[in-house]
Amino acid sequence: STPVVIDCDPGVDDAVALLLALASPELEVRGVSTVAGNVSLADVDRNAAHVLDLAGAPAGLPLVSGLAGPIARAARIRDEPMHGAGGLGGLVPQAPPRPFSAGHAVDWLAERALEAPGELTLVAVGPLSNVAAMLARHPQAGPALREIVVMGGAAFVQGNVTPAAEFNFHADPEAARYVLESGVPVRVVGLDVTRAALFPLASAERLAALPGTAGVAGGLLRDFALRYRDRFGVPAVPVHDALAVAAVSHPGLLGWEEGTASVECSGELTRGALVADLRTPDRERRVSIARTVDADAFAALLTDRLAGYAGG
Ligand code: BDR
Ligand code: CA
């Protein structure tokens, strides 16, 4: 199985991504780190701990807190309603969640890379603040990673925060740029594919009727899908971050374009825009951008893996 660490900002789709990863025998989850994004770091931390409890993850699984805002800008928390109050659609932890591990995500991520050179995949599904700071502070860590799989950006379609920019890249554009230009192999799972892989409301409703954590996950997805339907009129919802996890466990779900890429940091209208250069075949090609997705296979995978939590 593929060793991974997951840097996230739960967030409903982050929560589903964690549940999917922890139910995937194709992956060996070596730990989880948090970064501010969808909600404040305090809320993200509480949510991440709660999700690991829901998943029945081992008590010893590292859970490490990270940066409370972007690397070069003032923190600004998302002011849109998709993730609901507190970030998990109003779901409030009943019991005190598990404690965090010692240390800081920026150092912990580097330690995990360096202890297993060439092995580790870093799945980053929030703003890239921790990842960029880690690469900058620990120059040996980037080359030790197998790859970074990022949920972020919109190379061929419109953004979701502005016409040009997707949330994770818009939240910390300098960090996103640093990661994409770092020379570490990066695979980008952006809105290009996450919006083409909508999870049906009806499937979420069926999951919500199941017992245990499967029902909780289904309820989260159902409410997420209902909020999306109210805004966009479609009875299905993108589960962005879970698709990034699936890109690691089931690489055949996605089709890729190879090139180089950067992120606009100073544009008046285009801050946070992903700019992919797919033109020149002779350049060093370090960034892959997902362009196509098998939406039905992804929905089936997610349904199957979440339904597996019905016993817990
Ligand atoms: C990304 O933004 C966040 O709201 C989601 O969790 C996902 O990581 C989608 O643009
Ligand atoms: Ca996220």
Q: What confidence tens digit (pLDDT) does each residue in 256-312 have?
A: 999 999 999 999 999 999 999 998 766 677 899 999 999 999 999 999 999 999 986
Residue 264 in tokens:
């606009």
Nearest CA to ligand 1 atom 2: 167
Which ligand 1 atom is nearest residue 13's CA? 6
The proportion of the chain whose per-residue pLDDT surpasses 90, expressed as a percent, equals: 88
Q: Which of 16, 38, 131, 199 to mutate to test the pocket of ligand 1 (most atoms within 8 A of CB)?
A: 38
Closest CA to 245 of 11, 62, 23: 23
ipTM over 0.90: yes
What pLDDT, in 10s, does the model give residues 104-128?
A: 999 999 999 999 999 999 999 999 9
3-state secondary structure 38-78: CCCHHHHHHHHHHHHHHHCCCCCCCEECCCCCCCCCCCCCC
Ligand 1 center to residue 280 CA distance, Å?
Answer: 30
Segment 49-74 shows an average pLDDT of: 95
> Which ligand has an atom closest to residue 194 CA?
1
Ligand 2 center to residue 13 CA distance, Å?
Answer: 6
The burial class, CB within 10 Å (0-12 / 13-18 / 19+), for 262 is: middle
Ligand 1 proximity of 173 Cβ (cutoff 6 Å): no
Which ligand 1 atom is nearest residue 11's CA? 6
Q: Beta-carbon neighbour count of residue 80 at 10 Å? A: 11
The DSSP-derived string for the chain is: -EEEEEEE--SHHHHHHHHHHHT-TTEEEEEEEE-SSSS-HHHHHHHHHHHHHHHT--TTS-EE---SS-SSS-------GGG-GGGTTT---SSPPPPPPSS-HHHHHHHHHHHSTTTPEEEE-S-SHHHHHHHHH-TTHHHH-SEEEEE---SSS--SSSSSB-HHHHHSHHHHHHHHTSSS-EEEE-HHHHTTSEEEHHHHHHHHTSSHHHHHHHHHHHHHHHHHHHHH--SEEE-HHHHHHHHHH-GGGEEEEEEEEEE-SS-TTTTTBEEEE---TTS---EEEEEEE-HHHHHHHHHHHHHGGGG-
138 part of the active site: no
Interacting residues of 208 by C-beta distance below 8 A, sequence separation 6+: 215, 218, 219, 221, 222
Q: Most distant CA pair in the chain: distance in Å?
A: 55
Query: Which residues have CB atoms below 5 A from the ion given as ligand 2?
Result: 9, 11, 14, 125-126, 241
Ligand 1 center to residue 167 CA distance, Å?
Answer: 6
Ligand 1 proximity of 160 Cβ (cutoff 6 Å): yes
Ligand 2 center to residue 124 CA distance, Å?
Answer: 8
Q: Which of 76, 168, 191, 227 to mutate to test the pocket of ligand 1 (most atoms within 8 A of CB)?
A: 168
Residue 22 in tokens:
């922890």
Task: Tell me which of 16-25, 27-36, 77-86, 162-171 is least confident.
Answer: 77-86
What pLDDT, in 10s, does the model give residues 133-144?
A: 999 999 999 999
Write down the pTM of the prediction. Answer: 0.97
Ligand 1 proximity of 47 Cβ (cutoff 6 Å): no
The proportion of the chain whose per-residue pLDDT surpasses 70, expressed as a percent, equals: 97
